[in-house]
Structure 1
Amino acid sequence: MKYVKANAIWLETLVKEVQKYVQGEFLYIPNPQGIRKQWGENSGYRQYLCDRNEEIRREFKLGAEIEQLSDRYCLSYDSIKKIVYSKRS
């Protein structure tokens, strides 16, 4: 979420009206549809993790051991186990 100065987008009369209620505070104005993106959707990191986990599952199915995958992806043994044995495919 980025911050925008009210003076840059609103008319001066509207800014003065809002200042009657809030002064020098951060004001959050929600999306009119109420739709929020999930964590990592804007940056693409969520998709990166999904792709990485699919790659880990594929390598495991092809015979790679959990310890090898742990070293290759710099994740703990237990993290790799959670990924390869999860029901997501």
Structure 2
Amino acid sequence: MKYVNANKVLPEKLILEIQKYIQGETLYIPKQETEYRKWGASSGGRRILESRNTAIRNSFISGSKIQQLAEEYYLSPETIKKIVYSHKK
């Protein structure tokens, strides 16, 4: 998180109004909900995991065993079960 001095970005009138409620403290101003992005959306990590999970589900449907998939993908059998038994397709 990056801190910015309010004097550099806000009009003096607004700063005076905010000072009625809080002074000399750190104030977090969240993004608008329309600006939120899901985890991995920017880096591509989400797409990579979805692709991996689809491959795991397809292998399971084709007959691969849970333990075999766990060893192949370096995941715990419990994680493989969560992936193959989830309802995402």
Q: Structures share a fold, TM > 0.5?
A: yes
How far 1:38 moved relative to its partner?
5.9
Q: Which residue of 1 aligns with 2:26?
A: 25
* 1:37 partnered with 2:32: no
How far 1:48 moved relative to its partner?
3.0
The 10-residue stretch of structure 1 (73-82 or 22-31) with the greater mean CA deviation from structure 2: 22-31
Superposed CA deviations along residues 29-87 of structure 1, whole A, max 9, x for unmatched, are: 451xx446364145443333222211211222333322121122222112112211222
TM-score, normalization by structure 2: 0.66
Unaligned runs of 5+ in 1: none
Taking only the aligned residue pairs, the percentage that are identical comes to: 37
The 10-residue stretch of structure 1 (79-88 or 40-49) with the greater mean CA deviation from structure 2: 40-49
Distance in 1, Cα, partners of 2:82 & 2:19: 51
TM-score, normalization by structure 1: 0.66
RMSD of the alignment, in Å?
2.6
Structure 1's consecutive aligned runs of 4 or more residues displaced over 6 angstroms after TM superposition are none
Q: Which residue of 2 aligns with 1:8?
A: 8
What is the total number of aligned residue pairs between the two structures?
A: 86
Q: Which residue of 1 aligns with 2:76?
A: 76
